[in-house]
């Protein structure tokens, strides 16, 4: 693509998003739990990092059984985090700094402590059909049994996704924990309630929403048993889920035009679903859609993935994208092991080179910028219901607590996260040497590399340029080339191997100048500045660099990410 033709993009298409797990980011009142005032106190850090948008995991009123994904009031703030006036202050402070905020919305289920569920359980109108209730069946011993074999993710209630409610004398469905009943999204009144929730937060100036657990929105109305051969066809990924995303998009777009507001970032959470299904989220010729979070790094890339495999995974997804559509890159989040633990502590800078320099939005999960690692959590400190439901012997394979521990700000007690020595989850013992303050003061650190990449990613060659992946040195070296007419060429070169590699880039680009400039280097690279020969430079184990070749690209030679347009 020519730079004269650079696409006129919405702000959210290339924004850099920082995901904050509110319980773990910063405590302001000494209760050992993060809160909104704490986030306000750290906004300068976030701005200085070059972040453009903050994504807040749930802050609504909740028994916090599932850390806030069990909402008992969608239009107020849980006292643990503050109140609505703290929220308004946060919005004000955020917007004053030119940042944006998106909230996590959970349409699939509420808490069983939500008034809607309480009233529904008592058969009070109009709430009777707000949830998925059924009579179930009677077995040969006359015992009441669930209507089918649907299973819950949390494995409580012996794994069944149905719980018996004594008051209503019926079963209710919950894909997640029994305290998280699924809302009946086929009920128009429930959809209206959801729109009311969007309205409430839009009026409070939020800049968008993350839509939680999309593939679970609908289940088979006939309640047919899942078969063991074809898994989860009646409870997962029904086409109605995609259609509901289109409705959300249309509703929010209409709100924006009615209120003359800036367009909103909408993003949909969806794991384990087919690429075709994910692509449908983007919309079609008649409906605008909502981009899915791109979890390829989380679900497909591991610490032993080689260059050809990574190239295949990332390229395949990019090539599938509808024309003129941007994707997003997520290295880690609150539901998975941290990227530095999962893919390699020494590889985090190289991973950031990919996630920040590939086209589209980039997500950074708090602490990822300093390569925070998963924290070992003992059984008696475990709070995640996913871990608790599995018991003492297995909890560690399921609990998400290790990736949710307090942010490591400094070497002070409680890592500068709280003045309380007891924190909501234990702090990683490495906080003494792995924290923001130390990394800020070092000449080279993950944080320093991250900040350099954030500055670089704003160049049009990274937002709008072409891309090409190449595997070198028997799959041990991955190269990503970014090019745009009239801009210098960039090469991101990552040594995935455990030993030093000699790299020769001449096979990748004809007529490359003899030397290339080193623009960014991983904190573990030997050299960080100067020039390197195009055909023979050394990268130590797990090191990564961004190189710039000063000749301007005359014409694009590689696959273009942008062609024509689709509704979005
Ligand atoms: C959220 C999880 C949560 C689950 C159930 C997910 O998609 O990301 O953290 O536990 O929904 O609410």
Q: What's the 312 CA to ligand 1 centre distance in angstroms?
A: 29
Mean pLDDT in residue range 273-281: 94
Is the same domain home to 124 and 103?
no
Band (pLDDT 50/70/90 cuts) for residue 567 is very low
Is the same domain home to 471 and 410?
no
322 compared with 243, residue with greater pLDDT: 243
C-alpha 525 chain-centroid distance: 28
CATH of residue 373? 3.20.20.80
DSSP 196: H
Contact (Cβ atoms closer than 8 angstroms) between residue 517 and residue 505? no
Mean pLDDT in residue range 91-102: 98
The boundaries of the domain holding residue 442 are 16-107+188-447
Say what the pLDDT of residue 381 is: 97
Ligand 1 site-directed mutation target among 22, 57, 58, 66, most atoms within 8 Å of CB? 66
Is the same domain home to 228 and 334?
yes
Say what the pLDDT of residue 6 is: 65
Domain assignment present for 32: yes
Mean pLDDT in residue range 522-536: 90
Is the model's pLDDT at 4 over the cut of 80? Answer: no
Mean pLDDT in residue range 356-363: 98
Is the same domain home to 472 and 520?
yes
Q: What's the 107 CA to ligand 1 centre distance in angstroms?
A: 11
Mean pLDDT in residue range 412-441: 98
> Residue 212: CB within 6 Å of ligand 1?
yes
Domain assignment present for 279: yes
Band (pLDDT 50/70/90 cuts) for residue 231 is confident
Residue with CA nearest ligand 1 atom 12: 69
Is the model's pLDDT at 563 over the cut of 80? Answer: no
Say what the pLDDT of residue 272 is: 81
Domain assignment present for 459: no
| Percentage of the chain exceeding pLDDT 90 | 89
Residue 287 is encoded by which pair of tokens? 């409906």
Contact (Cβ atoms closer than 8 angstroms) between residue 48 and residue 38? no
Mean pLDDT in residue range 113-133: 98
Q: What's the 481 CA to ligand 1 centre distance in angstroms?
A: 36
CATH of residue 119? 3.90.400.10
Is the same domain home to 275 and 196?
yes
Q: What's the 67 CA to ligand 1 centre distance in angstroms?
A: 9
Is the same domain home to 337 and 412?
yes
Q: What's the 228 CA to ligand 1 centre distance in angstroms?
A: 24
Distance in angstroms (rounded) separating the CA atoms of residues 325 and 187:
32
Distance in angstroms (rounded) separating the CA atoms of residues 310 and 198:
38
Mean pLDDT in residue range 344-371: 97
Domain assignment present for 25: yes
Residue with CA nearest ligand 1 atom 7: 213
Ligand 1 site-directed mutation target among 213, 365, 402, most atoms within 8 Å of CB? 213
pLDDT digits (tens, 9 = 90+) for 435-453: 999 999 999 999 999 999 9
Is the model's pLDDT at 2 over the cut of 90? Answer: no
pLDDT digits (tens, 9 = 90+) for 180-225: 999 999 999 999 999 999 999 999 999 999 999 999 999 999 999 9
Q: Three-state DSSP class for 161?
A: coil
Closest ligand 1 atom to residue 175 Cα is: 5
Say what the pLDDT of residue 558 is: 40
Is the same domain home to 344 and 226?
yes
User: What are the start-end ranges of the E strands in 351-508?
Assistant: 361-365, 466-472, 477-483, 488-495, 501-503
C-alpha 60 chain-centroid distance: 19
CATH of residue 479? 2.60.40.1180
DSSP bridge partners of 17: 53, 363
Please state the domain count of the chain: 3
Which residues lie below 8 Å from residue 220, measured CB to CB, with a gap of 6+?
A: 234, 235, 238
> Residue 69: CB within 6 Å of ligand 1?
yes
Residue with CA nearest ligand 1 atom 3: 69
Distance in angstroms (rounded) separating the CA atoms of residues 389 and 404:
18
- Looking at every residue in the chain, the average pLDDT score rounds to 94
Say what the pLDDT of residue 5 is: 58
> Residue 466: CB within 6 Å of ligand 1?
no
Q: What's the 71 CA to ligand 1 centre distance in angstroms?
A: 12
Q: What's the 43 CA to ligand 1 centre distance in angstroms?
A: 26
> Residue 464: CB within 6 Å of ligand 1?
no
> Residue 213: CB within 6 Å of ligand 1?
yes
Q: What's the 299 CA to ligand 1 centre distance in angstroms?
A: 16
Say what the pLDDT of residue 273 is: 86
Which residues lie below 8 Å from residue 407, measured CB to CB, with a gap of 6+?
A: 24, 25, 26, 34, 366, 367, 372, 415, 417, 436
Domain assignment present for 562: no
Closest ligand 1 atom to residue 180 Cα is: 12
Is the same domain home to 404 and 481?
no
Domain assignment present for 458: no
Q: What's the 521 CA to ligand 1 centre distance in angstroms?
A: 36
Say what the pLDDT of residue 550 is: 81
Say what the pLDDT of residue 154 is: 84
Q: What's the 447 CA to ligand 1 centre distance in angstroms?
A: 28
Contact (Cβ atoms closer than 8 angstroms) between residue 388 and residue 486? no
pLDDT digits (tens, 9 = 90+) for 377-400: 999 999 999 999 999 999 999 999
Is the same domain home to 212 and 298?
yes
Domain assignment present for 356: yes
Choosing from 173, 202, 219, the residue where a domain stops is 173
Short-list 474, 483, 507, 490, CA closest to 544: 490
Mean pLDDT in residue range 256-271: 97
For the chain, the helix, strand and coil percentages under 3-state DSSP, each to the nearest 5:
30, 20, 50
Is the same domain home to 275 and 374?
yes
> Residue 468: CB within 6 Å of ligand 1?
no
> Residue 66: CB within 6 Å of ligand 1?
yes
Band (pLDDT 50/70/90 cuts) for residue 25 is very high
Say what the pLDDT of residue 562 is: 28
> Residue 461: CB within 6 Å of ligand 1?
no
> Residue 31: CB within 6 Å of ligand 1?
no
Ligand 1 site-directed mutation target among 176, 215, 363, 398, most atoms within 8 Å of CB? 176
Closest ligand 1 atom to residue 334 Cα is: 9
Band (pLDDT 50/70/90 cuts) for residue 461 is very high
Is the same domain home to 246 and 324?
yes
Say what the pLDDT of residue 158 is: 74
| Percentage of the chain exceeding pLDDT 70 | 95
Contact (Cβ atoms closer than 8 angstroms) between residue 211 and residue 55? no
Domain assignment present for 9: no
Is the model's pLDDT at 556 over the cut of 50? Answer: no
Distance in angstroms (rounded) separating the CA atoms of residues 278 and 116:
31
Is the model's pLDDT at 115 over the cut of 60? Answer: yes
Is the same domain home to 200 and 239?
yes
Q: What's the 213 CA to ligand 1 centre distance in angstroms?
A: 7
pLDDT digits (tens, 9 = 90+) for 154-176: 876 678 999 999 999 999 999 99
């Amino acid at each position: 693509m020519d730079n004269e033709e650079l696409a006129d993009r919405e702000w959210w298409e290339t924004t850099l998003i920082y995901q904050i797990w509110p319980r773990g980011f910063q405590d302001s009142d000494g209760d050992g739990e993060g809160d909104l005032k704490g986030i306000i106190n750290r906004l300068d850090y976030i701005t200085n990092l070059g972040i453009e948008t903050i994504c807040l995991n749930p802050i609504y009123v909740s028994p916090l059984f599932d850390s806030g994904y069990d909402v008992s009031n969608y239009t107020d703030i849980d006292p643990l985090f503050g109140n609505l006036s703290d929220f308004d202050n946060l919005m004000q402070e955020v917007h004053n700094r030119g940042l944006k905020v998106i909230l996590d919305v959970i349409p699939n289920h509420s808490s069983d402590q939500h008034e809607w569920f309480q009233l529904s359980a008592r058969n009070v109108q109009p709430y009777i059909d707000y949830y998925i209730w059924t009579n179930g069946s009677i077995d040969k011993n006359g015992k009441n049994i669930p209507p089918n074999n649907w299973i819950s993710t949390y494995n409580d209630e012996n794994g069944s996704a149905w719980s018996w409610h004594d008051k209503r004398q019926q079963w209710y469905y919950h894909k997640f924990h029994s305290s998280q009943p699924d809302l009946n999204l086929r009920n128009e009144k429930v959809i209206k309630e959801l729109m009311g929730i969007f309205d409430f937060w839009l009026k409070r100036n939020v800049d968008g929403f993350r839509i939680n657990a999309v593939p679970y929105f609908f289940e088979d109305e006939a309640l047919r048993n899942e078969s063991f051969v074809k898994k989860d066809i009646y409870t997962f990924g029904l086409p109605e889920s995609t259609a509901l995303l289109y409705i959300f998009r249309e509703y929010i777009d209409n709100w924006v035009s009615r209120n003359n507001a800036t367009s909103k970032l909408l993003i949909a959470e969806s794991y384990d679903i087919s690429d075709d299904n994910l692509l449908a989220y983007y919309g079609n010729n008649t409906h605008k859609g909502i981009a899915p979070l791109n979890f390829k790094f989380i679900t497909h890339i591991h610490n032993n993935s080689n260059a050809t495999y990574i190239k295949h995974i990332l390229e395949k997804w990019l090539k599938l994208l509808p024309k003129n559509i941007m994707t997003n890159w997520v290295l880690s989040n609150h539901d998975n092991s941290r990227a530095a633990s999962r893919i390699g502590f020494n590889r985090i800078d190289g991973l950031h080179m990919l996630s920040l320099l590939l086209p589209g939005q980039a997500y950074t999960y708090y602490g990822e910028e300093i390569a925070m690692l998963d924290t070992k959590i003992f059984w008696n400190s475990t709070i995640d219901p996913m871990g608790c439901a599995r018991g003492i012997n297995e909890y560690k394979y399921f609990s998400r607590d290790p990736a949710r521990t307090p942010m490591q700000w400094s070497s002070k007690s409680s890592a500068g996260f709280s003045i309380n020595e007891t924190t909501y989850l234990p702090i990683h013992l490495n906080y003494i040497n792995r924290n923001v303050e130390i990394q800020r003061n070092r000449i080279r650190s993950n944080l320093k590399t991250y900040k350099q990449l954030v500055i670089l990613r704003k160049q049009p060659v990274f937002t709008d340029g072409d891309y090409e992946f190449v595997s070198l040195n028997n799959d041990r070296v991955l190269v990503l080339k970014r090019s745009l007419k009239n801009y210098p060429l960039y090469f991101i070169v990552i040594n995935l191997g455990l030993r030093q590699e000699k790299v020769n880039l001449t096979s990748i680009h004809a007529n490359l100048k003899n030397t290339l400039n080193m623009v960014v280097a991983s904190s573990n690279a030997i050299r960080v500045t100067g020039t390197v020969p195009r055909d023979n430079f050394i990268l130590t184990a797990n090191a990564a660099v961004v190189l710039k070749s000063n000749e301007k690209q005359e014409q694009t030679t590689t696959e273009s990410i942008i062609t024509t347009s689709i509704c979005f």
